[in-house]
Amino acid sequence: MFKSDKIEICEATTSDAERLRALAVKCKIDAWSVSDYAEEISRPDSIVVKALSEDRLVGFAVSRSVPGQAGGFEVDLYNIAVENEFRRKGTGSLILDGVVAAALKKGASDIWLEVRESNSAAISFYKRHGFIAEATRTNFYSNPRENAVIMRLTINAQRDISGAETLLDSRIEEE
């Protein structure tokens, strides 16, 4: 867990599932059911981090560690959501740093994601954080039907994640 100004980044717990769903709906991202969030959080290969401002959920990310192409591990980043009033204030960057820290702890070499081709703000955000567009997946999204840009971030222990490496320390000590 770490803090920056008034934002605290920490692991989500199954008791957060309802709040994650509500924020996903509010942010108009592809929201899962409450039970899907709870199930994902409880998986040992999941990385679900949340951003709190004075105990108020203001953002989160859902990702999962998966077997990599070269025999190691990679992380698939499924969603990042940030409440409107906390956007463009570094909250998304802090959440992404939390995912990177957790991915490094799990020994991942890369983080992969898909983003709607029309979502230029998200594509710019990911590029600013070192992601590279690798390919396009035709008609990946529905409602509306749209291509996905597949992006990859290669991570390593030298990456500056602003103290986020402490994110999983408590979890590792508990296991």
pLDDT of 151 reads: 97
Q: pLDDT digit string (tens) for 137-162?
A: 999 998 889 999 999 999 975 555 55
> Tell me, what amino acid is at 45?
D
pLDDT at 168 over 50: no
CA angle 76, 142, 60 (to 5 degrees): 40
pLDDT of 124 reads: 96
Cα–Cα distance, 46 to 38 (Å, whole number): 11
Q: pLDDT digit string (tens) for 112-122?
A: 999 999 999 99
pLDDT at 164 over 70: no
Yes or no: say if 136 and 118 are a contact pair by the CB < 8 Å rule: no
Active-site residues: which are they?
114, 126
pTM confidence score? 0.85
